[in-house]
Each structure stands twice: as structure tokens, then as C-alpha cells.
Structure 1
């Protein structure tokens, strides 16, 4: 049986997620879609997904390195937003991003172990 779930797939999805978050985060404020749900929920979901993909795709890096890397990525984006029209650095965004990162890593650990145990995900 070919196992399509492997670290390479998750790495590709992680890069796509990074590009999507980077692009959406650095759009000028007036170009953002109207009628979005609560802003902080989007931050939480985006960074939870990013950290989840990073944990699922990593064979070498411990979880603490993934958490720090994702939070630093979030910090970089928040700093860059200061230079974008109608955007700016927000501590509450950083908080939502960071909580999302911890959640994403937290749920990825048992899911990855379960998938490997059931031989649904390749051990690489």
C-alpha cells in the first residue's frame, strides 16, 4: 500500500501555508475581504494549522523549535505590517498566533503517533 501521508507532503503543505499567511497578512488593510469572522479567531486558526503542518512534517526538529520558529515567523509578519497601509503591529494578534501555534503542535503530536502506529503515515 502506498502511503500518501508522509513528512514530505506535510512539508509542502507547510510551505504553501507560510506563503498564504505571509501574503494575506501583508495585504493593505483596504484590500482585506469584508465580512470576515472575528479577526483573532483567524489568527488562531491560521497559526494552529501552520504549526500542525510543521510538526507533522518534521522528523528532526523537536516541538519547542517548531513553536519558537512559528512564533518568530508571526513576529516578523507583525513587524512588517507596520509598513503596510492600514495595518500595524498588534499584541493581541501575537497572542492569538502564539496560542494557535501551541495548540497546533499539541494536537499534532498524538495524531502523528497514531497515524504512524496504524501505518497510515510513512515513518520515512
Structure 2
């Protein structure tokens, strides 16, 4: 299979994803759209994408470091949400985020040899 993507692209996309997740996670609850599908699925998908981009973009860090880093980022955001109107810390959000991180890293680990030229 042809490797056609550069890891630098994934690094840029990872930074953009971090900023987007951070901004959306710290919006006051009243500003969030009312017609969102199941909240936990969005957490899972967002953090799966984040971890996937991190795995695809990293040349140095092993997968376990990416998992820990992404979960700590999630924990930090959940902690900050305590101080945002109509938001709060939720263990189920942290669980959905963590399961997304694990899934994203595994998928990235499996696909990276086929998609990224080093």
C-alpha cells in the first residue's frame, strides 16, 4: 500500500483538535446546542479522533504515553468544567473519553504503517 501522508500534517491536526475540544468543553452549558445526540458518544468520538491524530503524528512517543497524555488532558478539562456555568465534572464523561483514547490509539497504531511516510 502507498504511504501518502506526512506525520507533520497529523501534528497540526492534533493541535487544532486539542484547541477545538478545549474550547467546546469549556463553553457554558447554556451555549451548547440542545439537539446533540447522546453526549457520551460525542466524548468517545472526540477523544478517539484526538488520540488517533496523536498516534499518527508522533514519531517519538510510544502509545502508552499518548494514552496517558490524552487521558490527563481529558481529566484536566473535566476538572475545569466545575467552574463553568451549567457544566460539571462527570465520571462517565471521563470514562467515555478514556475509551475513545484507547480506541483511537489502537486504530492509529494499526493504520500508521499503511498511511504515514516517516
Task: Indicate yes or no: 2:77 matched with 1:82.
Answer: no
Equivalent position of 1:44 in the other structure:
44
Equivalent position of 2:104 in the other structure:
104
Distance in 2 (CA, whole Å) between partners of 1:66 and 1:81 is 23
Distance in 2 (CA, whole Å) between partners of 1:26 and 1:64 is 27
Distance in 1 (CA, whole Å) between partners of 2:6 and 2:67 is 21
Task: Indicate yes or no: 2:64 matched with 1:69.
Answer: no
> Per-residue CA shift, 1:24-47, capped at 9, x if unaligned?
000000000120000000000000
Shift of 1:110: 1.2
Shift of 1:81: 0.1
> Per-residue CA shift, 1:1-58, capped at 9, x if unaligned?
xx76111100000000000000000000000012000000000000000000000000
Matches within 5 A, 1:21-40: 21-40=21-40
| TM, length-normalised to structure 2 | 0.95
Structure of larger gyration radius:
1
Distance in 2 (CA, whole Å) between partners of 1:105 and 1:122 is 18
Equivalent position of 1:20 in the other structure:
20
Equivalent position of 1:118 in the other structure:
none
Instruction: Structure 2: give runs of 5+ residues left out of the alignment.
Output: none
Instruction: Structure 1: give runs of 5+ residues left out of the alignment.
Output: 116-120
| TM, length-normalised to structure 1 | 0.91
Higher relative contact order (CA 8 A, sep 6+): 2
Structure 1 residue ranges, 4+ long, deviating more than 4 angstroms after superposition: none
Distance in 2 (CA, whole Å) between partners of 1:98 and 1:108 is 15
Superposition RMSD in Å: 1.0
